[in-house]
Amino acid sequence: MSRVESLLRTGHSIRDIAQISGVSRSTISRIRQKILCQSNVIKMGRPRILSTRLERNIARMVSSGLWKNAEIARSRLISEFKLEISSESLRRSLRRSGLQARICPKKPLLRKKHRQARLAFARQYKDWTVEDWKKVVLYGPMNQSLMCLDQTVRNIVGKYPVNLLDLTISSRW
C-alpha cells in the first residue's frame, strides 16, 4: 500500500496506478480519499467573505423574518459584524442556502366563482343610484362586522376581517 500512496503523491492517475501495481481502481480510490482527508488540502482561489456558520445564521435571520431582504441583512452585517459585503454576494449566499427572492402578491387571485359572484352582484344592482347606495348597510356573518358605505367599518364583537363575499345587503329604511 505504501507504493500506491507514493504513486498517488507523485501525481499518477488512478488508472495508471492500477496498471502498475495490479490493485483495483476502487481500492486505490479509497486510499486516495484517506490521503486527502489526512493531509492539509491547499485551498485555491479567493477566500470566502462569509463562513459557513455565518451563512447559516444569515439564512436563519432572513427566513425567520427578522431581516426582510438582502439590503437590510447587508446593513446589519456592516453595523454589527463590521463586515463589508456587497448585496449581490449576500444574495448568492442566500441562494446557496436554498432561499429565493420573490415579490409577494398584493392580493389573492380571483377564482372563477369569485368573478361569477361579482358579475351577478353587478348585474343585480346595476340600476341603483348613488342615493340608493347611501341607504345601504352591509352586515357580516354572525354580526361580527357592520359596514356602512357612507362611513367606515365598525366592528361590533371584535376586530375581525370583513369578507365582502359573505356580506348581505339590507336597506336602512
Listed as own residue / partner, the contacts of 128-131 with beta carbons closer than 8 Å and 24 or more positions apart are none
What distance in Å separates the CA atoms of residue 16 and residue 10, rounded to the nearest whole number? Answer: 12
Question: Does position 144 have pLDDT exceeding 80, yes or no?
Answer: no
Is residue 101 assigned to a domain?
A: no
Residue at 104 is within a domain: no
Pairing of strands 153-155, 136-139: unpaired
Q: Are residues 117 and 160 in the same domain?
A: yes
Name the grid cell of 172. 336602512
pLDDT grade for 166, boundaries at 50, 70 and 90? low
Total structural domains in the chain? 3
Evaluate whether residue 47 is within a structural domain.
no
- Asked if residue 124 is part of any domain, the answer here is yes
**For 39-68, how does the pLDDT look when each residue is reduced to its tens digit (9 = 90+)?**
565 566 888 888 889 999 999 998 888 888
Query: What does the alpha-carbon distance between residue 100 and residue 103 come to, in Å, rounded to a whole number?
Result: 10
Residues 126 and 155 in one domain: yes
* Average pLDDT for the chain: 77
The average pLDDT across 11-33 equals 89
Report yes or no on 46 lying in a domain.
Answer: no
Residue 152 placed within a domain: yes
Question: Per residue in 84-135, pLDDT tens?
Answer: 899 899 999 999 988 887 777 777 788 899 889 989 988 988 888 888 877 7
Q: How far apart are CA 126 and CA 108, in angstroms?
A: 26
SS3 102: coil
High-pLDDT (> 70) share of the chain, %: 74
Domain of 14? Answer: 2-38
pLDDT of residue 160: 44
Residue 85 inside a domain? The answer is yes
The full DSSP string for 112-162 is HHHHHHHHHHHHHTTT--HHHHHTEEEE-GGG-EEEETTS-EEESSS----
Do both 117 and 159 map to the same domain? Answer: yes
Question: Distance between alpha carbon 7 and the CA centroid of its chain, in Å?
Answer: 49
| Domain-located, residue 44 | no
Report which residue type is found at 110.
Answer: L
Tell me the CA end-to-end span of the chain in Å, nearest whole number. Answer: 100
Pick 107 or 161 by higher pLDDT.
Answer: 107
On whether both 91 and 137 belong to a single domain, the answer is no
Q: Under DSSP, is residue 7 helix (H, G, I), strand (E, B) or coil?
A: helix
Say whether both 129 and 153 belong to one domain: yes
